Amino acid sequence: MEELALHILDLVENALSAGARRISITIIEDVNKDRLTIEIKDDGCGMDAATLQQVLDPFYTTRTTRKVGLGLSLFQATVAQCEGEVTVESRPGKGTRVAAVMKLSHLDLPPLGDMGATIAAALSRDEEVELNYHHRRDSKELKFSSAWMQLHLGEIPLNCGPVLDWVQRYINKGLAELYTQTNKG
């Protein structure tokens, strides 16, 4: 995949397929430590120990439509090429946590990509899911909560076009501000 946002969307899709009602996406860019951390947590059905041992194998999938499940193994390969590693923790009935830590300045690190579109796509698939996105770059941060939005929107569904457009713009504008250097002087 050409951007990290597509890997994240794949992991969110996995969580939704596992029946998750709450999904948390956290991205931490620590420039001083040269470290990028991506974490996706969900409260889906979780996995037993046997499934957890196979989950990074590209030839393992729970789907019946095809015999390979490349998403998580492709993410692992991307992280490994950036001098990082992926950990997956899960328990049946408790959900799953996928975390990746890699070198932020690595030459092979794909761009973050369109996180606004990723969050909007997840909301368009299931308006009932509580989706939280937290992105920190050094001391700057962006937070998004679908529960907060729903509280303020009232009966307007989160998955209607104008709301999804706003979500995408809000997140992408917030990310642009994270990457803007503040000149003091």
The mean pLDDT of 127-147, rounded to a whole number, is 95
CA dist., res. 82 & res. 97, Å (int): 20
- The pTM of the full predicted model, rounded to 2 decimals, is 0.89
Span 84-108, pLDDT tens digits: 999 999 999 999 999 999 999 999 9
CATH fit for domain 4-178, picks 3.40.50.880, 3.40.1190.10, 2.40.30.10, 3.30.565.10: 3.30.565.10
Nearest to residue 71, comparing CAs of 17, 23, 130?
Answer: 17
Q: Where are the beta strands (DSSP E) in the chain?
A: 22-30, 35-42, 85-91, 95-103, 130-137, 140-145
Among 7-16, 21-30, 149-158, the range with the most confident prediction by mean pLDDT is 21-30
Span 138-155, pLDDT tens digits: 999 999 999 999 999 988
CA dist., res. 8 & res. 13, Å (int): 9
pLDDT at 67: 41
The domains of the chain are located at: 4-178
pLDDT at 5: 97
The encoded tokens of residue 73 equal 């193994």
